[in-house]
């Protein structure tokens, strides 16, 4: 796919996303946001540690780090705690510990504070900490937002950071006044995930990596490129065009060098660019695998930094911390030793027994319907019809059939139960059986896949949805209802099976039913049309109610297409009742 | 669905049910938006708190019924509306009282003013005015008294209600329910439909095979003090630690042997252990449980027992698939046999845990397997996940939501599916612990979320950590948290899906067993062409250069975790039914994990991950008889896991190619799926000469 095609796809996806948001009126991610005084502030992280991961770490995963402005100290994160140590390495001192996850520390230009991301208030937020431990400030974020990659402006007034409204959102770049404040958005394409801000030394330019959407499974590269925003003119310029993507820019203290990460063959390396000539070469290759192919909540590479004199960068890869000279010299390891004492929540472990009692109690009753007068309930359990007296009574099978029995409905006079059957060999039928027990009567002449039956109010007809039996027999995977389904009816009286009369194609409508005093109209629900009714010949369609709703991880950036069960992209026609708006297809990401 | 009276409709959305009034407005029906019901143009009422499905109207429309698990709920709308009416009348009465009081006070003030002005005018106060003031004052006292009485009454009623409730709770008649927005709670009634459990009867001895028990015994070899097999190459199996007929290894002797080892070792409390692998042993099964495992001369086979010779075969515990999706179970009208479960069982997977189901149909399928109505593995599931849409308000709300799984679905577990921020996720793990649920989680490609799940002590994390490589710090964390990771490398995070590697390296279309159980259309969609959308695979790429795959790198984490006694389990994600489990196993081993460690992940660690470590996952006395009998030894070559001769599940022995039952009854699998028509037999078309 060419970049142009890809861009077109992203535009379409974004347009769709916008449409989805506007048709449902929902925010991109409906989540709880706690204001001051909300539960988030009373006990932001209620869980207390019950175990301890205590060990001496000499290597670590994805450690983001920074070098202090005076060049003497490294601050880094490890398993959600912050540590400092001398620039030469050695023993690390814990700076922030505890169960909160604190990460991506950056020194303020005056060296007195660090900015970092933490969930200590319950949600992801941008915080600053004075290194003398006299103050912490929540600068921005919290609630359901996700934040990453803070960076101070050279004058120490602002902190740039990226933020998205919960999982699936495309992170956007803003500056925040360090004394706390609302975001000052740095304009850019809302389709680009914009992360990893780096300022030029004069503060004029903000470099960042822009990714196409949040992430893509089975991605085809490139996924990120570098952009540069000019705070003076408001212009954004594309700065790279690499097959292996470009991410995590850093600018040398003298403004001459750009360093960034990229994939080359199957590995990741660091490029350096002379900003005067535009020429590039490798600074280090390979380093460690980047994170461009998933969400990169800690950016596409861990945070790294130039030494104040610009002679080298300090970066973690391969689980260790390195001094990588800008002049092409061999990287030198900066060894560290951190005494980790991480609080871990209590163990949640139970030993369950497998039941061996002689009788199995059905874990589920399906399609229960209470008869006229409320004296009995008929339902499906073990895929067979059962009946039970109310309020008390023993559940008993209603038939002796050995096919599946589904979707029971009482006749208006309460004497019969209509239902459908399914047999893997013979297909299914519309049946009825006396509520008092007795011989079932087959009402349909031709086997098919019948479902969702309803009695007409006068008890004369039984309506059902129908598809070819072949379709269920051949179902090879996702089967959420037949293609070409129809509403049909059969005479309820029997006693001989009859060919069903076709009412109309079901389309997306399903669950036919009636109002008690209106024998002329069949009601059904369609996720597109809402609750509708029509005549026995399918004409004169009226709409009665439209329902809109939205699931939690509303499709945008649906994290797991293989598990999108919760928000089917297709209609789920068999769900009982108006199963409301699965009409909004989740937008594909990327 | 419209009510019988035609004046309102119920709405099912997500896990919840609503009732909405209708309004006749011609061609533009009212639209209601469920997350803003207060703004709806017609009254909308949410009637569920813990959730509900299968809603139906009572025949007079006065009540709504629904079910959750095997509980029937009745929500008496007429009653609720009458109560609300009553409350409104009371409220109006109070308001009226206030209005009256205000009016009297006003009049009183007026009369007083009048009297004052008369006084100032030195006129005599007319007697009728005095009388009126007196009467009004009496009235005003009465009004105050009335209102005080009314308040006292309402306080007393509230107190009585609280007392009754607390008495009921103390007596155990009532659960303590979290407060919900509705004070009314639907009436609940458990409906128990019962059928006999399917348990085979009889005793069978599987004799002569190599038994990889997945248990440990004390290592008596002084030179070898490592607990686990020393080799990690995968090609080099550990020495069989027991010779055939070695009585010291008999089950009853293990403790004694351990004691001996104690005396000999320098660290007396930690005798070196080694895997118990028995050459030429016997597994004795009575009904559905293992009653003895040991060398031939240590297990007495009772008279009348069936003896099945499995000499030359290798016995391993039934495989546990901790991340299994049927992709997809047919909802509502259920087929009698489910091909996905047949395929899965035929490939030796005797236990499945589905960590996120679209619907609750899986509960009924489970019931049918338990009663012998359907052939399949043990089926467990989380039920439908707990998503951010639940909008968790506080810890109590989390508990209400989780009761769905503890009390209604009885799943023992749930999927905490990125339910919210760290605080909300902590509420859930706390509620789960209280309700004795073992939740699993998914970070949705967010490494940070995964790590916080481990820190918070969640027992499970589905899918691999998207960052690779992972170093010892994270392994230490997982060792402490005892969190099990099912990495599902067939759908790798952070790189191309592992399954694509196998589609380009395995003869999927030539696999006879797969063709027996998996519909041709399903295989064709997956295996004939790989690209975006092939077999439901998302993304852009389909074919990848071999070095682009990330699962070998992720396999290095698998290796480290298993070597450090942290927990990994095998989850196929249901990518291709049956054989997909073995692909996943092999993909996980690509980072150098030993064959023995991979078998641990496939059996005992998987069983422990889902809370059945004392029932399943190893071959030892007292455990359920889930056994895979392999033609070749997986310790020699992990690819031998797919070389299956028989599968025993819950004491029934099936042929590994056909799933025909061999013991206790000999019967052919009654399977009604139509064989795919051979198109070559069609009537027309071009024929070769």
Interval B330-353: pLDDT, tens: 999 999 999 999 999 999 999 999
The answer to whether residue A311 sits within a structural domain is: yes
pLDDT tens digits for range A212-257: 888 889 999 999 999 999 999 999 999 999 999 999 999 999 999 9
**Best CA proximity match to B180, nearest among B335, B356, B48, B312:** B48
Q: Residue A37 pLDDT more than 50?
A: no
Q: Decide if pLDDT at A23 tops 60.
A: no
Which is higher by pLDDT, B209 or B681?
A: B209
DSSP reduced 3-state for A410:
strand
A368–B65 C-beta distance less than 8 A: yes
**A4: pLDDT strictly greater than 50:** no
Max Cα distance, chain A (Å):
96
- Per CB-CB distance under 8 Å, the chain A contacts of B470 are 61
Average pLDDT of chain B? 86
- Reading the block at residue B417, the tokens are 């599916």
* Residue A312 shares a structural domain with residue A380: no
CATH of B200-317+617-670, picked from 3.40.50.1820, 2.30.40.10, 3.30.450.20, 2.40.10.340, is 2.30.40.10
- The contacts of residue A496 (CB under 8 Å, 6+ apart) are none
Look up tokens 């519909």; give the residue.
Answer: B519
Q: What is the mean pLDDT of chain A?
A: 86
Measure the CA–CA gap between B386 and A118, rounded to whole angstroms: 24
- The DSSP string of B331-386 is PSS--SS-HHHHHHHHTTEEEEEES--SSSHHHHHHHHHHTTSS---EEEE--S-B
Select the more confidently predicted residue: B247 or A76: A76
Q: Give the CATH number for residue A129.
A: 2.120.10.30
pLDDT of residue B681: 63
Question: ipTM more than 0.90?
Answer: no
Q: Domain for residue A4, yes or no? A: no
Pairwise CA distance, residues B51 & B68, whole Å: 7
Could you list the residue range(s) of the whole structural domain that residue A306 is in? 50-344
Neighbours of A505 (CB within 10 A): 12
What is the average per-residue pLDDT within B239-258?
A: 40
Question: C-alpha dihedral over B474, B475, B477, B481, to 10 degrees?
Answer: 140
Return d(Cα A251, Cα A151) in angstroms, integer: 12
Closest CA to A419 of A444, A391, A394: A444
Q: For position B161, what pLDDT does the model report? A: 63
Please list the residues that pair with A2 across neighbouring strands. Answer: none
pLDDT at B43 over 50: yes
- Between A563-572, B16-25, B270-279, B572-581, the lowest mean confidence (pLDDT) is in A563-572
pLDDT band at B101 (very low <50, low <70, confident <90, very high): confident
Q: Quote the pLDDT of residue B36.
A: 67
Q: What is the mean predicted confidence (pLDDT) over A523-543? A: 91
With respect to residue A590, please indicate whether it lies within any of the assigned structural domains.
no
Which residues have a Cβ under 8 Å from the Cβ of B53 and sit 6 or more positions away?
A576, B12, B15, B66, B67, B68, B360
Across the strands, what pairs with A225? A210
β-pairing, B306-309 vs B203-218, is: parallel
Same domain, A484 and A526: yes
How many angstroms separate the CA atoms of B455 and B439, rounded? 14
Q: Are residues A466 and A539 in the same domain?
A: yes
Residues with Cβ < 8 Å from A226, sequence gap 6 or more? A207, A208, A209, A210, A238, A239, A240, A246, A247, A249, A258, A260
| Cα dihedral across residues B205, B210, B213, B216: positive or negative | positive
Higher-pLDDT residue of A76, B120: A76
- Tokens representing A552 are 């939690």
List CB contacts (< 8 A) between B325 and chain A: 562-563
Q: Are A217 and B539 a contacting pair at CB < 8 A?
A: yes
User: What is the model's pTM?
Assistant: 0.86
List the one residue out of B615, B603, B613, B623 whose CA is nearest residue B289: B623
Percentage above 70 pLDDT, chain A: 85
Alpha carbon A56 to its chain's center: 35
| Residue A75 preceded by cis peptide, ω within 30 | no
DSSP per-residue codes, A92-129: -EEEE-SSS-EEEEEE-TTSSEEEEEE-TTSS-EEEEE
Quote the CA–CA distance of A31 and A553 in Å, as a whole number: 9
Question: In this predicted model, what pLDDT tens digit does every residue of B530-549 receive, in sequence order?
Answer: 888 787 778 888 899 999 99
**Which pLDDT does position B4 carry in this prediction?**
85
pLDDT at B167: 55
Interface test with chain A among B47, B76, B397, B444, by most A beta carbons within 10 Å:
B444
Alpha carbon distance A53, A75 (integer Å): 21
Looking at chain A from residue 169 to 208, which residues have their Cβ under 8 Å from any Cβ of chain B? none
> CA-CA distance, B502 to B498, in Å (whole number)?
7
Q: Which residue has the higher pLDDT, B675 or A575?
A: B675
CA B463 from chain centre, in angstroms, equals 15
Looking at the structure, do residues A429 and A470 belong to the same domain, yes or no?
A: yes
- Answer whether residue A1 shows pLDDT above 70: no
Residue A474, helix vs strand vs coil: coil
Do A340 and A437 fall within a single domain?
no
Q: Which of B449, B442, B532, B461 is nearest to B496 (CA)?
A: B532
Give me the number of domains chain A comprises.
Answer: 2
Confidence band of A556 (pLDDT split at 50, 70, 90): very low
Q: Tell me, yes or no, whether A377 and A334 share the same domain.
A: no
* Token pair belonging to A35: 């204001």
pLDDT level of residue B375 (50, 70, 90 thresholds): very high
- For residue range B282-294, list pLDDT tens digits in order: 999 999 999 999 9
| Residue A55 and residue A114 in one domain | yes
**B377 contacts in A (CB within 8 Å)?**
none
Per-residue pLDDT tens over the stretch B176-212: 333 333 468 899 999 999 999 999 999 999 999 999 9
What is the distance of C-alpha B378 from the center of its chain? Answer: 13
pLDDT of residue A567: 25
B-chain CB neighbours of A344 within 8 Å are 454-457, 477, 480-481
Alpha-carbon gap, residue A145 to B321, rounded angstroms: 34
Task: Inform me whether the pLDDT recorded for A443 exceeds 80.
Answer: yes
**pLDDT at A554 > cutoff 60:** no
Token duo for residue B355 = 């960590």
The first and second tokens of residue B112, run together, are: 């007083």
| Better-scored residue on pLDDT, B178 or B149 | B149
Which residues are A211's β-sheet partners?
Answer: A193, A224
User: CB distance B67–A480 less than 8 Å?
Assistant: no
Are A310 and A298 in contact by the 8 Å Cβ rule? The answer is no
With beta carbons under 8 A apart, name residues in chain A contacting B500.
218
Higher pLDDT, A338 or B531: A338
Instruction: Tell me the nearest-neighbour CA distance from A166 into chain B, angstroms.
Output: 8
Residue B614's pLDDT is: 98
Give the span between the Cα atoms of B230 and B379, in whole angstroms: 35
Q: Higher pLDDT residue, B589 or A166? A: B589
Q: Which two tokens stand for residue A220?
A: 């085809």
Say whether both A400 and A462 belong to one domain: yes
By C-alpha distance, the chain B residue nearest A419 is B333
State the smallest CA–CA distance between residue B223 and chain A in angstroms.
Answer: 30
d(CA B333, nearest CA chain A) in Å = 6
* Tokens standing for residue B377: 């593995």
Q: Check pLDDT > 70 for residue B76.
A: yes
Q: Give contacts of A39 with chain B, Cβ < 8 Å.
A: 393-394, 423
Residues within 8 A of B (CB atoms), A 378-407 only: 379-383, 386, 388, 390-391, 395, 403-404, 406-407
Interval A350-373: pLDDT, tens: 999 999 999 999 999 999 999 998
Q: Do A377 and A286 belong together in one domain?
A: no
Q: Does A515 touch chain B (CB under 8 A)?
A: yes
Assess whether A173 and A123 both reside in one domain.
yes
Please tell me the predicted confidence (pLDDT) of residue A18. 33
Helix (H), strand (E), coil (C) string for B216-230? EEECCCCCCCCCCCC
> B45-75: per-residue pLDDT in tens?
889 989 999 999 998 888 999 999 999 999 9
Helix axes B422-434, B447-455, angle to 10 degrees: 40
Residues in chain B closer than 8 A to A62 (CB atoms): 447, 467
> What pLDDT is recorded for position B252?
37
Regarding predicted confidence, which is higher, B593 or B133?
B593
B314-333 in b/e form (b: 16+ CB < 10 A) is bbbbbbbbbbbbbbbbbbbb
- Judge whether A403 and A423 are in contact, CB under 8 Å: yes
What pLDDT is recorded for position B92? Answer: 85
How many other β-carbons are positioned within 10 Å of the β-carbon of residue B147?
15
On the question of pLDDT at A529 being above 50, the answer is yes
Q: Is residue A255 included in any domain, yes or no?
A: yes
pLDDT of residue B677: 53
Does residue A6 belong to any structural domain of this protein? no
Structural domain boundaries of chain B?
Answer: 8-78, 79-184, 200-317+617-670, 319-377+463-470+484-602
Which residues lie below 8 Å from residue B404, measured CB to CB, with a gap of 6+?
B15, B50, B51, B68, B383, B414
Q: Residues 402..431 of A with a Cβ closer than 8 Å to B: which?
A: 403-404, 406-407, 410, 412, 414, 420, 422-425, 428
User: Which positions in chain A touch B432 (Cβ < 8 Å)?
Assistant: 348
Peptide bond before residue B328 is cis, with ω within 30 degrees of 0 = yes
pLDDT exceeds cutoff 50 at A30:
no
- Whether A103 and A201 map to the same domain: the answer is yes
Q: Among residues 247-306 of chain A, which lie with CB inside 8 Å of chain B?
A: 265-266, 288-289, 291, 293-295, 297-298
Report the C-alpha gap between B381 and B571 in whole angstroms: 13
CB under 8 A, 24+ apart: contacts of A45-48: A45/A99, A45/A100, A45/A119, A45/A120, A45/A122, A45/B422, A45/B423, A45/B426, A46/B395, A46/B423, A46/B426, A46/B427, A46/B430, A47/A99, A47/A345, A47/B426, A47/B429, A47/B430, A47/B456, A47/B457, A48/A99, A48/A343, A48/A345
Distance of CA A399 to the CA centre of its chain: 45
* Residue (of A34, A353, A48, A267) closest to B430 by Cα position: A48
| Residue partners of B682: CB distance under 8 A and separation at least 6 | none
């Amino acid at each position: 796919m060419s970049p142009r095609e890809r861009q077109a796809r992203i535009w379409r996806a974004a347009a769709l996303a916008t449409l989805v948001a506007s048709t449902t009126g929902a925010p991109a991610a409906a989540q709880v946001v706690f204001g001051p005084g909300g539960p988030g502030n009373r006990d932001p992280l209620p869980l207390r540690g019950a175990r301890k991961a205590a060990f001496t770490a000499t290597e670590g995963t994805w450690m983001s780090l920074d070098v202090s402005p005076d060049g003497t100290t490294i601050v880094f994160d490890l398993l959600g705690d912050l540590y400092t140590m001398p620039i030469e390495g050695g023993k690390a001192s814990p700076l922030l510990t505890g169960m909160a996850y604190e990460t991506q520390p950056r020194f303020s230009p005056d060296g007195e504070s660090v900015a970092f991301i933490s969930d200590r208030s319950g949600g992801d937020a941008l915080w600053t900490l004075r290194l003398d431990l006299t103050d912490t400030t929540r600068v921005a974020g919290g609630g359901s937002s996700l934040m990453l990659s803070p960076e101070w402006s050279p004058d120490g007034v602002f902190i740039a950071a990226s933020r998205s409204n919960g999982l699936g959102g495309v992170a956007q770049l803003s500056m925040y006044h360090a004394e706390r404040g609302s975001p000052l958005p740095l304009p850019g394409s809302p389709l680009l995930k914009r992360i990893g801000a780096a300022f030029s030394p004069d503060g004029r330019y903000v470099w960042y990596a822009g990714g196409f959407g949040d992430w893509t499974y089975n991605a085809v590269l490139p996924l990120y490129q570098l952009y540069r925003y000019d705070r003076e003119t408001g212009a954004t310029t594309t700065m790279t065009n690499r097959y292996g993507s470009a991410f995590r820019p850093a600018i040398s203290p003298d403004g001459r060098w750009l360093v960034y990460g990229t994939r080359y063959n199957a590995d990741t390396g660091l490029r350096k660019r002379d900003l005067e000539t535009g020429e590039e070469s490798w600074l280090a290759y390979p380093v460690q695998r980047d994170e461009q192919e998933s969400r990169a909540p800690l950016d596409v590479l861990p945070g790294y930094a130039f030494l104040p004199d610009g002679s080298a960068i300090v970066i973690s890869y391969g689980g260790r911390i390195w001094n990588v000279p800008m002049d092409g010299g061999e990287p030198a390891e900066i060894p560290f030793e951190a005494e980790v004492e991480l609080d871990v929540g209590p163990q949640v472990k139970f030993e369950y027994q497998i039941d061996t009692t002689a009788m199995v109690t059905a874990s589920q009753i399906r399609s229960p319907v209470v008869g006229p007068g409320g004296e009995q309930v008929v339902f499906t359990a073990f895929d067979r019809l059962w009946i039970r007296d109310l309020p008390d009574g023993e559940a008993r099978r209603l038939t002796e059939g050995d096919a599946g029995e589904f979707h029971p409905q009482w006749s208006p006079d309460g004497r019969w139960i209509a239902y459908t059957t399914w047999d893997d060999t013979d297909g299914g039928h519309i049946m009825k059986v006396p509520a008092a027990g007795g011989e079932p009567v087959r009402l349909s002449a031709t086997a098919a896949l019948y479902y969702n039956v309803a009695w007409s109010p006068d008890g004369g007809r039984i309506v059902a949805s129908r598809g070819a039996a072949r379709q269920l027999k051949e179902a090879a995977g996702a089967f959420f209802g037949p293609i070409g389904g129809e509403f049909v009816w059969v005479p309820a009286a029997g006693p001989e099976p009859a060919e069903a009369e076709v009412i109309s194609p079901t389309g997306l409508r399903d669950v036919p039913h009636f109002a008690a005093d209106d024998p002329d109209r069949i009601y059904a629900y369609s996720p597109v049309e809402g609750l509708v009714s029509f005549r026995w010949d399918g004409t004169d369609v009226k709409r009665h109610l439209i329902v809109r709703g939205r699931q939690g991880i509303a499709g945008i950036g649906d994290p797991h297409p293989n598990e999108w069960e919760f928000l089917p992209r297709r209609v789920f026609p068999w769900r009982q009742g108006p199963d409301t708006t699965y009409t909004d297809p989740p937008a594909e990401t990327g | 669905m419209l009510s019988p009276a035609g004046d309102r409709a119920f709405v099912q959305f997500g896990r919840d049910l609503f009732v909405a009034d209708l309004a006749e407005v011609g061609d533009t029906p009212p639209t209601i938006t469920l997350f803003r019901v207060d703004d709806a143009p017609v009254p909308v009422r949410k009637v569920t708190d813990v959730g509900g499905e299968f809603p139906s109207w009572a025949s007079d429309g006065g009540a709504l019924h629904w079910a959750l698990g095997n509980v029937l709920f009745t929500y008496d709308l007429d009653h609720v509306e009458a109560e609300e009416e009553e409350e409104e009348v009371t409220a109006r009465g109070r308001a009226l009282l206030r209005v009256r009081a205000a009016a009297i006070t006003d009049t009183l003030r007026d009369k007083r003013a009048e009297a004052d002005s008369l006084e100032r005018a030195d006129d005599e106060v007319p007697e009728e005015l005095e009388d009126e003031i007196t009467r009004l004052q009496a009235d005003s006292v009465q009004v105050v008294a009335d209102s005080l009485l009314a308040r006292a009454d309402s306080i007393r009623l509230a107190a009585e209600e609280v007392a009754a409730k607390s008495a009921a709770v103390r007596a155990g008649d009532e659960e303590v329910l979290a407060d919900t927005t509705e004070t009314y709670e639907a009436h609940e009634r458990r409906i128990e439909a019962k059928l006999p459990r399917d348990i085979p009867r009889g005793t069978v001895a599987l004799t002569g095979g190599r038994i990889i028990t997945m248990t440990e015994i004390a290592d008596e070899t002084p030179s070898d003090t490592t607990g686990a097999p020393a080799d990690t190459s995968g090609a080099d199996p550990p020495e069989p630690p027991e010779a055939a007929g070695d009585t010291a290894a008999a089950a009853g002797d293990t403790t004694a042997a351990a004691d001996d080892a104690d005396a000999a070792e320098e660290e007396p409390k930690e005798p070196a252990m080694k895997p118990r692998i028995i050459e030429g042993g016997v597994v004795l099964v009575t009904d559905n449980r293992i009653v003895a495992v040991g060398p031939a001369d240590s297990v007495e086979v009772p008279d009348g027992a069936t003896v099945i010779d499995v000499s030359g075969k290798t016995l391993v515990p039934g495989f546990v698939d901790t991340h299994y999706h049927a992709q997809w179970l047919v909802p509502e009208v259920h087929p009698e046999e489910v091909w996905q479960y047949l395929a899965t069982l035929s490939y030796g997977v005797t236990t499945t845990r589905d960590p996120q189901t679209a619907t609750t149909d899986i509960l009924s399928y489970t019931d049918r397997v338990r009663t012998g109505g359907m052939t399949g593995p043990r089926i467990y599931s989380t039920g439908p996940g707990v998503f951010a849409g639940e909008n968790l308000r506080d810890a109590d709300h989390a508990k209400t939501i989780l009761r769905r799984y503890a009390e209604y679905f009885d799943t023992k577990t749930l999927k905490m599916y990125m339910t919210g921020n760290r605080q909300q996720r902590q509420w859930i793990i706390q509620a789960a612990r209280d309700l004795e649920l073992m939740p699993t989680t998914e970070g949705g490609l967010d490494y940070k979320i995964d790590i916080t799940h481990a820190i918070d002590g969640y027992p499970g994390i589905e899918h691999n950590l998207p960052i690779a490589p992972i170093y010892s710090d994270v392994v230490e964390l997982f060792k402490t948290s005892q969190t099990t990771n099912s990495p599902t490398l067939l759908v790798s995070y952070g790189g191309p899906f592992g399954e694509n590697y196998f589609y380009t390296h395995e003869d999927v279309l030539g696999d006879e067993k797969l063709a027996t159980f998996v519909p041709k259309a399903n295989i064709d969609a997956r295996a004939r062409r790989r690209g975006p959308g092939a077999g439901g695979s998302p993304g852009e790429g389909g074919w990848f250069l071999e070095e682009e795959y990330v699962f070998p790198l992720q396999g290095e984490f698998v290796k480290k975790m298993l070597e450090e006694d942290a927990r990994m389990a095998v989850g196929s994600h249901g990518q291709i039914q049956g054989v997909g489990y073995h692909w996943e196993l092999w993909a996980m081993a690509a980072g150098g994990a030993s064959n023995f460690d991979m078998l641990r992940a496939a059996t005992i660690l998987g069983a422990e991950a889902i809370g059945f470590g004392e029932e399943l996952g190893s071959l030892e006395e007292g455990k359920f008889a889930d056994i895979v009998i392999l033609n070749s030894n997986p310790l020699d070559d992990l690819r031998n896991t797919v070389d299956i001769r028989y599968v025993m599940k819950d004491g029934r022995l099936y042929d590994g190619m056909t799933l025909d039952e061999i013991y206790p009854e000999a019967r052919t699998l009654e399977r009604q799926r139509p064989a795919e028509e051979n198109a070559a037999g069609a009537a027309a078309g071009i024929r070769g000469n």
